[in-house]
């Protein structure tokens, strides 16, 4: 992307190169830099937030299972756990979940 934009702007007289990023990385940088006012409408928000990747749910699930003393035989996959959570009826979902 940077190469394409640089090629399009090669004849432009710029003081500095353009800022090139994906939509998500731009918003992440903006929230880290200017996100403090968001805490007024989103209690608990901090600029030191974490963005989870696809592997994070599995790591958290494994840590939870280990904390419960569950083994591989008594635990289930991330996909199955997430499916069970998303299909649970409201009265089946623990209040502190």
Half-sphere exposure of 67 (CA within 13 A, CB side): 6
DSSP secondary structure letter of residue 97: -
Tens of pLDDT, residue by residue, the chain (97 residues): 888 888 888 888 888 888 889 998 999 999 999 989 988 888 888 888 888 777 877 787 788 878 878 777 766 776 777 787 778 766 655 555 4
CB atoms within 10 A of CB 87: 8
Domain boundaries, given as residue ranges, for the chain:
2-41, 56-92
Q: What pLDDT, on a 0 to 100 scale, did the predictor assign at position 97?
A: 46
Output the pTM of the full model.
0.47
Cα 88 to Cα 8, 30, 40, 77, 83, distances in angstroms: 52, 36, 32, 16, 8
pLDDT tens digit string along 77-94?
767 777 877 787 666 555
C-alpha–C-alpha distance, residues 36 and 48, integer Å: 10
């Amino acid at each position: 992307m940077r190469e394409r934009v640089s090629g399009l702007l090669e004849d432009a007289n710029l003081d500095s190169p353009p800022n090139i990023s994906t939509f998500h990385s731009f918003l992440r940088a903006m929230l880290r830099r200017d996100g403090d006012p968001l805490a007024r409408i989103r209690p608990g928000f901090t600029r030191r937030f974490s963005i989870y990747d696809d592997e994070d749910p599995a790591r958290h699930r494994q840590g939870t299972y280990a904390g419960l003393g569950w083994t591989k035989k008594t635990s289930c996959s991330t996909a199955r756990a997430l499916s069970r959570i998303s299909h649970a009826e409201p009265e089946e979902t623990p209040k502190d979940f």
